[in-house]
């Protein structure tokens, strides 16, 4: 199988295992992103903050690279920094989240 099937009893465990394998396989190339994935994932959402835009932008690029290594594309970016959302790819049908200032 090349996809994790949702709706089965084992789906949450499989989803977490896929993320763990992603970190094991590609985390050495993206240590900051691997740390975020290991500690800030809830199901298929990564919830992470940064004190400044200058630290958020590199993390975003590293996360994109890490998941791209596993053949995955991140979407549904949300931030109160408009600059961080520039050039974000949002798939058709996905909801673009907004956070008030």
Does 82 reside within a domain? Answer: no
> pTM for this structure?
0.78
Tokens of 15: 């989803």
Residue 2 has pLDDT above 90, yes or no: no
Would residue 43 count as lying in a domain?
yes
Is 30 domain-assigned?
yes
Residue 28 within a domain: yes
Phi, psi of 92 (to 5 degrees): -60, 135
What domain count does the chain have?
1
* Contact status, residue 11 vs residue 4, Cβ threshold 8 Å: yes
Residue 36 in domain: yes
pLDDT in tens, 55-95: 999 999 999 999 999 999 888 888 878 788 777 664 444 44
Query: How many Cβ atoms from other residues are within 10 Å of residue 36's Cβ?
Result: 19
In a domain, 1, yes or no: no
| pLDDT computed for residue 32 by the predictor | 94
List the domain range (segments joined by +) for residue 59: 10-69
Answer yes or no: is 46 within a domain. yes
In a domain, 41, yes or no: yes
Q: CB burial class (10 A; 0-12, 13-18, 19+) of residue 66?
A: buried
């Amino acid at each position: 199988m090349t996809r994790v099937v949702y709706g089965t009893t084992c789906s949450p465990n499989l989803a977490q295992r896929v993320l763990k394998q992603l970190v094991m396989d590609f985390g050495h190339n993206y240590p900051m992103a691997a740390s975020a994935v290991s500690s800030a994932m809830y199901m298929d959402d990564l919830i992470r903050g940064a004190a400044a835009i200058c630290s958020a932008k590199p993390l975003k690029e590293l996360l994109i690279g890490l998941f791209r290594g596993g053949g995955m594309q991140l979407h549904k970016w949300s931030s109160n920094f408009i600059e961080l959302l520039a050039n974000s790819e949002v798939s058709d049908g996905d909801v673009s989240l907004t956070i008030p200032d």
